[in-house]
Amino acid sequence: MKVAVIGAGLVGLASAHALADEGHEVVVIDREGPAAGASRGNAGWIAHTDIDPVATPDMLRRVPGYLLDPLGPLAIRARYLLPVLPWLTRLILASRPEQLKRSVEAVVSISRLAMPAWDALSASLGMGAMIHRRGGIFAYDDARNLATARLKFARQRGFGMNVEEIDGRALRQLEPSLSDAVIGAAYYPDAAHVTDPRVVTEALFAAARSRGIWFERAAVTSITAGPPVSVVCEGREPVVADAVVLAAGAWSKPLAAALGDNIPLETERGYNVSFPGVATITRPVAFDGQGFVVTPLDTGLRVGGAVELAGLKLPPNHARTRALHAKASRMLRDVPAFETGQVWMGHRPSIPDSLPVIGLAKTSARVVYAFGHGHYGLTHSAATGRIVADLLAERTPPIDLAPFSPQRF
């Protein structure tokens, strides 16, 4: 078939490669180009060892305290409070015990595919050196938060994940740059991270072009279900194809709505500051309860995280980035001055139950959705690409896709 993939981020490009592997003619369409969105500046973790959705009872208990701090781990712009209320309501409902259990099981199911899928994709394209297997750390500066987290550690072990709890002394043997403010941590020896998410995405794009995958720079305005399927673009002729993959991240919602699927997709803004050439730590560290991570990319140290609900149009607030830097400077020795870094803000495409939308459109079996991965876009991208190929080939995917269905809402 001829397949049009809308979106040149990690999910779109992984899908393009999976489809090309099966002999399809593939064209990727993006309004900007590769790695223009969340794939450009994310934290770089392949977080297949993480199991918790955003909506958990523990997270909801912390929300009032978070909202009292305008620069804390969670913020809602006043101008965006009314528009985001329906999404927030769904987020709260997703934390109910039965829904939470289903979400965790679904996250685990696709996460089990994540590392094998990345291994296969990177090996086939000669990109294996772009994945580092040095483990990852969740660090704590508060004894109560650490005690609460032990329940999560036990659940992770129940799913077969390797989790080692270590005290502050053992932690500083692993990462001497961590300050004495950190009292303990969970060490995940099987965690991985990439050299740099932008570099990886651009490498996937270059590999796609070299194997004959076409690219069109265009803003998609609508999809006509067909057959054939027609991708209507601003200022140019439509792209006509046998099938379409919608992987446009935070910009996917209106395109899906026009096809009859009203997806509760929201943008979680993430902020970071990166310091080129700085090598302070050797493996990524997340500071649980503080809402930020530090990652040793090959291109330098990245400090990022937090969630801001403010939509796609309001300007960034880099006072939040400065606040992340201040927190990192307390937890980590030798963090460079903020002014020497490069700031960034991006849009995580987020669904209230933290599960991406992977499945067929309501009105067409030739339109596949693959968006809404939230904090797991890099992690689940390669696996999602393989599932997309399965759906278009009418094969049974390796996991139950009911929890990811576009029609579950």
Ordered domains of the chain (ranges, CATH): 2-40+199-264+354-404 (3.50.50.60), 57-93+136-189+266-350 (3.30.9.10)
Please return the burial class of 101, using the count of CB atoms within 10 Å of its CB with bins 0-12, 13-18 and 19+: exposed
Backbone dihedral angles phi then psi of residue 132, each to the nearest 5 degrees: -100, 130
Neighbours of 190 (CB within 10 A): 14
Give the DSSP letter string of 18-45. Answer: HHHHTT-EEEEEESS-TT-SHHHHS--E
Residue 110: its H or E element = helix 97-124
Residue with tokens 């730590």: 281
**Maximum pairwise Cα distance, the chain:** 63
Confirm if 262 and 409 have CB atoms less than 8 A apart: yes
**pLDDT score for 70:** 77
**pLDDT score for 194:** 98
Distance CA(321)–CA(207), nearest Å, equals 33
The pairing of beta strand 239-241 with beta strand 229-233: antiparallel
Distance CA(104)–CA(156), nearest Å, equals 10
Residue positions counted in the chain: 409
Distance CA(237)–CA(29), nearest Å, equals 13
Residue among 160, 206, 126 nearest 51 (CA) = 160
- Tell me the whole-structure pTM to 2 decimals: 0.96
**pLDDT score for 68:** 75
In tens digits, the chain (409 residues) has pLDDT values of 999 999 999 999 999 999 999 999 999 999 999 999 999 999 999 999 988 888 888 777 777 777 778 788 888 998 999 999 999 999 999 999 999 999 999 999 999 999 999 999 999 999 999 999 999 999 999 999 999 999 999 999 999 999 999 999 999 999 999 999 999 999 999 999 999 999 999 999 999 999 999 999 999 999 998 789 999 999 999 999 999 999 999 999 999 999 999 999 999 999 999 999 999 999 999 998 888 999 999 999 999 998 999 999 999 999 999 999 999 999 999 999 999 999 999 999 999 999 999 999 999 999 999 999 999 999 999 999 999 999 999 999 999 999 999 999 9
Confirm if 297 and 371 have CB atoms less than 8 A apart: no
